[in-house]
Amino acid sequence: MQCHFCEKISPLPTSGSIFVHERTNAYQYLKESQGLDGHEENTTFLAIPFLSHDELKSILYPMINTGAEQNWIRVYSDDDDKHPIHLTIQHLYHRISDPELVQLIEDEAFETHLQPIFNLQTEKLYGYESLLRTHQNVVNPGRLFQFAQQAGLQSYLDQRARRLAIQTKANKIGREYYIFINFLPSSIYNPDFCLKHTFEAIDEYNVSKDELVFEVVETEYIDDLSHLEGILNRYKQSGMRVALDDVGSGYNNLDVLSQLSTDIIKIDRYYVRNCHENDDNQLFIDRAIDIAKQLNLTILAEGIETEEEFRHLQAKGIHLAQGFYLGKPSADIVHELD
């Protein structure tokens, strides 16, 4: 069994018909709209033909940002041998609008860049954070993930990014160093099923589970902490560690730490910037240190850009650190602090 969101990307037919169910907002909109002469109607569906992607796009566009874009439809090809494709209107619209990005994701035309993470107290390398980049940086990674979400390819991309990071750990980093691997909680619907591919990759590349840290990315607002906790627990039950990114930013506030079984918290760069002279930032960091001690958490300060920030956090007893002062993301690896 394969997940609808993670399986191979089905090519969209250049001509065919979309079938819209009568119990959708899209059905009512299309039935009342103009310029759809020739559509067929039965008691359950509207069947609307299209002869090109541009024509299909013009049909779908008026429904974007109306609520109807979340409605599921079927896309049939004029080729009777092909099975119908099930997509939301939004997913279909964005896939036909940016076919180059769909192809980039399908071809997995990306690579892992690594940003070093150091033990702040020993100044020795602790590991790396894995960051996804397209080949030759043809697309900004933020733009790529934004598109993937709009096009219903977020789970597909997120899963393959995790697999590539695991492969990089095996082939480039080797033993003794941790790798931090980002993941999007919204791409994992059922931890037992959705993480199966990741666990299979770990076994395939013979990577030590206790050297993997799976990190909740900062770009998402999580309104279901119980779902996130279930994901984190699934990782931990399999022998891996978990980290919460950008603590202090958005939903990642200090008050939620007791609700989540995380191992590492990453202090948001906002509180790291000028922490050696900013009283408010120092108060936040002190509070984070107190909570981390109570919950037996490791603290990682991210976004360190100056020696003054580095030395201040080191004196505070912060465990781990990363930032441009310590090393920028790169396709190459470094094992020593300059």
Query: What CATH number is attached to the domain comprising 242?
Result: 3.20.20.450
Q: Is 201 contained in some domain?
A: yes
115 found inside a domain: yes
Do 86 and 122 lie in one domain? The reply is no
- pLDDT band per the 50, 70, 90 thresholds, residue 1: very low
Asked whether residue 80 falls in the same domain as residue 218, the answer is: no
- Residue 48 to residue 62: CA distance in whole angstroms: 15
**Lookup: tokens for 213:** 């840290």
What digits encode the pLDDT tens for the residues 114-168? 999 999 999 999 999 999 999 988 899 999 999 999 999 999 999 999 999 999 9
Domain presence at residue 7: no
List, for residues 24-57, the tens digit of each pLDDT value: 999 888 877 755 544 555 568 888 999 999 999 9
Q: What type of residue is 10?
A: S
Chosen domain end from 68, 97, 126: 97
**45 and 155 housed in the same domain:** no
User: Are residues 201 and 242 located together in one domain of the fold?
Assistant: yes
- Number of C-beta neighbours around residue 28 at 10 A: 14
Helical ranges in 61-177 per DSSP H: 89-97, 99-107, 141-150, 154-168
59 plus 186 within the same structural domain:
no
Tally of domains in the chain: 2
- Write down which residue in 67, 97, 127 finishes a domain: 97
Tokens linked to 156:
């597909």
Contact between 198 and 162 under an 8 Å Cβ cutoff? The reply is: yes
Contacts of 122 (CB under 8 A, 6+ apart): none
Give me 199's structure tokens: 């666990």
Asked if residue 332 belongs to a domain, the reply is no
98, pLDDT greater than 80: yes
Q: Given the structure tokens 């759809």, which residue do they identify? A: 36
Q: Are residues 73 and 179 in the same domain?
A: no
In a domain, 253, yes or no: yes
Query: Are 131 and 174 part of one and the same domain?
Result: yes
Considering the domain architecture, whether residues 179 and 213 belong to the same structural domain is answered as yes
Does some domain include residue 124? yes
Do residues 83 and 188 share a domain?
A: no
In a domain, 86, yes or no: yes
Note the pLDDT tens digit of each residue in 216-246: 875 455 667 788 888 899 999 999 999 988 7
Residue 163 is part of which domain span? 108-321
DSSP per residue, 9-25:
PPPPPSSEEEEEETTSH
Residues 65 and 136 in one domain: no
**CA-CA-CA-CA torsion sign (266, 270, 276, 280):** negative
pLDDT reported for residue 173: 93
Same domain, 265 and 301: yes
Same domain, 59 and 170: no
Of 97, 122, 150, the one marking the end of a domain is 97
The reply to whether 338 falls in a domain is no
Checking DSSP bridges between strand 40-41 and strand 241-247, what pairing results, if any? unpaired
What are the C-alpha distances in Å from 295 to residues 257, 263, 272?
8, 9, 21
Global pTM value: 0.89
CB 284 within 8 A of CB 253: no
Q: How many CB atoms lie within 10 A of CB 270?
A: 14
